[in-house]
Structure formats: structure tokens, C-alpha cells
């Protein structure tokens, strides 16, 4: 009669192995070891692509490299110096005052905005500034929206030198700087002498508003 092997109790052994594995996993968690989230979980949580080293990499929007600078300017609401043309309007005389509209015109193909005061400086033929910067007339600025071809203006005013007896000089150009910009626009100055020193030499500039003058 053939001998038979005694039955092997595999079920208890398997249960013991599973329990031991569970105990080891719990101990690892308590010791500070945390399973890394799956890439699919990271992608869903942060909306990013995974980089080659496994770290999240920001998702970028493809752009035309040849026109990246132009695209950046189009998304910026402010009018930039290179998008504007400056001019000085006709003299608007007042009671002992000389008033000139300084006009900024949008020459670009997009709508942009201006807000606040333009910078202004009289410059002589040598390129040296004549007199101090104009003071800002008190006002509450408002945003001026300029579609292509439209203009905004600010008033440049000073007392007539014949009346004020201020020391004068004759500028070659007027430098106009749009609000929040560093680059200036040169405008030939053909309106004669301006005050550059003395008690009554103050020049003022107003905030920009829509149009080309009063």
C-alpha cells in the first residue's frame, strides 16, 4: 500500500505571512517613509506634466518665437512709448498764461491705455535739460482708453515770461515720457522762450484725458 504525505496546513502559513507584511508596512509609515503619489495623481492635482526627473514641470503654452515680443506687448494694457507719437498743439493763451496741449496718439494696431501724468522736460540744442521738471497740477487721474489712431492730451502751462520776468531759455525740443514708461519721445519746440529760473518760473502739467486739447 502506497504511503501518503501528511497534509500541509498552507492557509495558516499564508495568513501569517500577510500579517507580517502588513506589520512591516505600518512600521515603515510610522518611521517617516511615505509612498510617493503616482504620476497620474500628481497630474490631476496640479495640472502639470511630469519632468524627466520625476518632479512636476509647469505646462507652457506654445508661442511663435519670432513674434514673442509683439505678443507680450499685446497682452499688456498699458500704452508703451514705441506705440505712441507725441506732438504739441496750438498755443491756448490765458490771463498771463501760456498753455499748450501735449498730445499722445496711439500709432499701434491694438487698443491700449494711459493713466496719470506724462513726464515733460525742455531740452536745449546741446541736449541739456533747461529748468526743473514741471510740477503736477492736483487732479484725480482716470484711465484713458486709446483705440488705434486715438489720442489723449495733458496741459503744459507756465506764466508768460514778459509778465513774470523769469529767466528764460529757448528749447530745441520737448521730451515727453508716457506714464509708467522710461523711454521718451522728442518733439521739436517752436513756441519760443520758456521760463527756466526765478521766482515765477514754475511750469505745470495736468493729468491725461481723452482728446487732443481743450
Helix, strand counts (H, E) of the chain = 4, 15
Give the pLDDT confidence score for residue 136 in this predicted structure.
96
pTM of structure:
0.64
Q: Is 169 exposed, middle or buried (0-12, 13-18, 19+ CB in 10 A)?
A: middle
Distances in Å between the Cα of 208 and the Cα atoms of 62, 88, 136, 139, 202 are: 37, 14, 11, 10, 19
Give the pLDDT confidence score for residue 133 in this predicted structure.
92
How far apart (Å, rounded) are the C-alpha atoms in residues 139 and 206? 7
Using DSSP's 3-state secondary structure scheme, residue 46 falls into helix
How far apart (Å, rounded) are the C-alpha atoms in residues 114 and 210? 9
Which residue positions in the chain have pLDDT lower than 70?
Answer: 1-76
Fold held by 81-210: Immunoglobulin-like (2.60.40)
How far apart (Å, rounded) are the C-alpha atoms in residues 146 and 142? 13
Where in the chain are the domains?
81-210
Q: Which residues contact 178 (CB under 8 A, 6 or more apart)?
A: 79, 80, 81, 84, 104, 114, 118, 119, 185
Give the pLDDT confidence score for residue 93 in this predicted structure.
84
Amino acid at each position: 500500500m502506497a504511503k501518503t504525505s501528511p497534509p500541509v496546513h498552507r492557509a495558516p502559513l499564508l495568513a501569517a505571512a500577510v500579517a507580517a507584511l502588513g506589520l512591516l508596512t505600518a512600521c515603515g509609515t510610522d518611521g517617516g517613509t511615505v509612498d510617493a503619489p503616482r504620476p497620474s495623481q500628481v497630474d490631476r492635482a496640479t495640472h502639470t506634466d511630469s519632468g524627466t526627473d520625476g518632479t512636476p514641470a509647469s505646462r507652457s503654452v506654445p508661442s511663435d518665437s519670432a513674434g514673442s515680443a509683439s505678443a507680450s506687448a499685446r497682452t499688456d494694457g498699458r500704452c508703451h512709448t514705441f506705440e505712441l507719437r507725441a506732438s504739441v498743439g496750438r498755443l491756448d493763451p490765458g490771463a498771463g498764461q501760456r498753455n499748450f496741449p501735449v498730445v499722445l496718439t496711439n500709432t499701434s494696431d491694438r487698443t491700449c491705455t494711459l493713466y496719470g501724468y506724462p513726464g515733460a522736460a525742455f531740452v536745449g540744442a546741446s541736449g541739456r535739460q533747461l529748468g526743473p521738471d514741471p510740477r503736477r497740477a492736483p487732479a484725480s487721474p482716470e484711465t484713458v482708453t486709446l483705440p488705434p489712431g486715438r489720442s489723449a492730451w495733458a496741459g503744459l502751462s507756465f506764466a508768460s515770461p514778459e509778465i513774470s520776468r523769469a529767466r528764460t531759455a529757448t528749447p530745441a525740443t520737448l521730451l515727453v515720457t508716457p506714464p509708467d514708461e522710461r523711454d521718451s519721445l522728442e518733439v521739436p519746440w517752436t513756441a519760443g522762450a520758456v521760463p527756466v529760473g526765478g521766482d515765477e518760473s514754475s511750469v505745470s502739467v495736468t493729468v491725461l484725458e481723452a482728446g487732443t486739447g481743450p
